[in-house]
Amino acid sequence: MVSKRMRVAANVKRGPYATLTLQGEVIPSHPGQFYMLRGEWGISPLLGRPISILGEDLARSEIRFLVKAVGEGSRLLHALKPGETVQATGPLGNHFPLSGWDPQSPVVLVGGGVGVPPMAYLARRLSENGAGVIFCQGARTKEDLLLLDEIQETGVTPHIATDDGSAGEKGLVTGLLERELEYQPGAVFACGPEAMLRAVARLCRGKVPCYVSLEAAMGCGYGVCLSCVTRVKEAGKVVNQRVCKEGPVFEAEALPWL
The 10s digit of each residue's pLDDT in 10-61 is 999 999 999 999 999 999 999 999 999 999 988 888 899 999 999 999 999 9
**Hey, is 203 helix, strand or coil?**
helix
Q: Looking at residue 44, what is its pLDDT?
A: 86
Helix-, strand-, coil-residue percentages of the chain, each rounded to 5? 20, 35, 40
- φ, ψ of residue 106 in degrees (nearest 5): -55, 150
Q: Looking at residue 258, what is its pLDDT?
A: 64
| DSSP bridge pairs for 134 | 108
Q: Which of 74, 72, 71 is nearest to 11 (CA)?
A: 74
CB 62 within 8 A of CB 6: no
pTM metric for this prediction: 0.96
Query: Residue 184, Cβ neighbours under 10 Å: how many?
Result: 10
**Hey, is 123 helix, strand or coil?**
helix
Domains and CATH numbers, the chain: 2-92 (2.40.30.10), 107-254 (3.40.50.80)
CA distances from 118 to 30, 83, 112 (A): 9, 25, 10
Q: Looking at residue 256, what is its pLDDT?
A: 87
Q: Which of 131, 147, 138, 234 is nearest to 187 (CA)?
A: 131
Report the C-alpha gap between 252 and 213 in whole angstroms: 9
Strand order in the sheet with 133-139: 169-170, 158-162, 133-139, 107-112, 187-191, 210-213, 249-251
Query: Residue 44, Cβ neighbours under 10 Å: how many?
Result: 9
Q: Which of 211, 14, 21, 35 is nearest to 107 (CA)?
A: 211
Residues in the chain predicted with pLDDT less than 70, given as ranges, are 258
CB 19 within 8 A of CB 26: no
**Hey, is 91 helix, strand or coil?**
strand
Name residue 161's amino acid: A
Q: Looking at residue 241, what is its pLDDT?
A: 96
| DSSP bridge pairs for 7 | 23, 85
